[in-house]
A and B are shown apart, each in its own frame.
Chain A
Amino acid sequence: MNCTKCKTKAVIGLPRHNAAFCKNCFNGFVHDQVARAIKSEWMFGKEDRILVAVSGGKDSLALWDILLKLGYRADALYVNLGIGAYSEQSHAKVTKFAEAVAASHGAMLHLHTVEQEAGAGIKELAQLIHRPTCSTCGTIKRYQFNRVAIEQQYDVMATGHNLDDEAARLLGNVLHWQEEYLDKQSPSLPASVEGFAKKVKPLYRLSERELAAYAVLNRIDYIVEECPMAKGSKMLQYKEVLNRLETESPGTKQTFYWGFLDKQSKKQPTATTMAEKDRAVLHPCTSCSQPTTAEVCSYCKMMARAGTAKS
């Protein structure tokens, strides 16, 4: 198989684009897809300060690498969840990338350790408050990324969600007719109220396989092991189904998710925009001031329950 652009030996075939690329042309393709995502969704400009949420996995480290190579001002935040050897390994991968690659671009790494603040790792914390580990993890990560973005005055927060993540999430929302979540599936969510950072997903045009290939080709040392808490998750099941469809019919995932985005953009504007809806229901948490629909936000409630359970 030869590269569609330069005719040298290809390293990856991309059936959904009816193309194959050598390393150099593939890197060009990946950078171009991210640049198109940033521009078409008005994510950020060259002067903006970006906070990348990194986990040590392929997507978030590839995102940090791509943004730095495209010349953006991107720092990162790693949240150490305290999941034993898995967290130790992922922390080491992030630190290695920050020192070996990001530092030469003048970028820095922020760190938050769950155990230091909560007195327990994520698994123990979830048990203390009788909640599923993944839901506890989601609440902590969303809270901490938003907190650091606001406190450190970043213009925007970027996550490594890719085409597979978004297509699987859309499938889950449609299967359960969770229409209220569909508005939040845009790759660019504005800072709708004071205290919320703008959130963007610059990798939504790239598949999980393409991002893993980018990491391998560019010698980005990421954690290959799956999070031990994610085993058997619904997201993994949806991704498996979508990948079987994709193999039989290349382009299925992008048609599904990009088609959804296209339909959303053509929808008649409703009487109230998402920002207006947010402003109507959100107000500062009485404990920490982050926006919430309740008197006390779910993060502060969680920390209070964990504190009570331990004492």
Chain B
Amino acid sequence: MIFLAAAGLVMLLSGLASYYTTQQISAFAVANLVAGPLALVAAGVVQTRRVSGFSGALSRRVLLRQTALVGVVAAAVVVSNVLASGWTASLDLTADRQYTLADQTLGVCAQIGKLPEARRPSLLFFEDALIAKEVRLRIAGYEAHCPIETRTLREAQAPPEARPILSEFETTVIACLGSRCEAVGYPSEGNITNALLRLTRASTPVVYFMLGHGEVNLSSEADHGFSALAGALRDEGMDVRGILGPAREEVPADADVLIVAAPERDLLPDEIESIDAWLEAGGRMLALLEPETASNLVELLGRWGFDLPPGVVADERVSPLLVDATPLSLLLNQFNGWHPITRKLSHRHMVLLPSARPVFAARKPMPDDRLEALLFTHKTAWLERDPAAARSGHGAGPDPAGPRGVPLPLAAAGRYPREHGEARIVVIGDADFASNRLLHTLYNPDLLLNSVLWLAEDEEQIALRPKGPTPDQDPLTIQQTLAYFYFLAFALPEALLLLGIHAWYRQRG
């Protein structure tokens, strides 16, 4: 019997070992995986007969009771595991709470919950995709907190509407609504949520960028380009278009938001006039200004109550995030907690503005207008009047006579109730913070995208977006690594081994 059990075990283990090493079910593996368990079962049957060795009612009673105990516990373990398999409760102990759904996702899920079943999207998760293991936890989060159907399946089982995508892309997650499916690129939470958002958006806000005056380059993928900004707006389900200012006399009628981002040259008077008229008629505009911007846009904004003194804001507290940090790179965490754009941002959230000019909400053009500052510097900041000198490191420094100890506002928003509708304007004293290099840094995207959503009166979508993992690299120097290695790989085992020899010596007596 012992030989049979041992032989069975050896065969089973050989079969498994051949499978694990080759990842193939070969004839050898099959033969062993069949014969091994059979031999074990046979040995088990023989052993069961030996149970008759438990003579007498008392012994049999104990045998029965203990077998029942093990059986009941085994059954309880199986049942608890079956019940727990549907239990998605978990504790996310990652530093960035990577697997805890972000505020934006929860908001999107809440909105989906209000939709009728037929209009709710679903997620297809391909468990045989290359990075499926990394994504499984994230999908579990959606399963637990989002009223959508999540289906875990193999690529071969994909429904017909998803197959064209699979034949074109290597993808792990596909979002579908009826027969309309979208591949989620890298299955980060942001991308999955945006795919759901796009599928469920009832309307598509149209965002126009003013072009033709040296504004930011939306097609450039370089660090200083702004292709990421256009992409982020599209990801939020917006329709992004450009208008070549000089060629048009009027802002298009379908424009929900007009973005004027860091024009280097003056706008034509006609353009200024048409923007002004459009705003008067209830238009919405986001102005991203650089410290050097001195175009007539500043004058236009002045008429709408914004005071934009020239210069660049500097701060003694240099940002530790930038390798080449200067006093001009501002790491900010002071927000207006009352305004819808910044309500969700607290002192725990930071934005990084590489160089910014102050934006004062100075006056109300009409009594019912409301202007509010959104973002502030620390009290240690001051205004450098000459941006070029400040950039080259020859700034004047804090003005001893200037108003120090007062936070300077760097962004402001205004609401202007007018006869034909409410105009809205947001002015941010920096454009570079939304460049490809910095758009996805900290809470920069939230400041920008929430501004656009507020302007588009899509306030339900205002949220804090999921963040990627914080990069953490190169923690130790070679010398430190070696020192720890010597201690743990040599000194500690050596000490343990000496203790072992001592124990052995004592045991020998």
Is chain B a partner of chain A in the same complex? no
Write the residues of chain B forming the contact surface with A, with a CB cutoff of 8 angstroms: none
A residues at B contact (CB < 8 Å): none
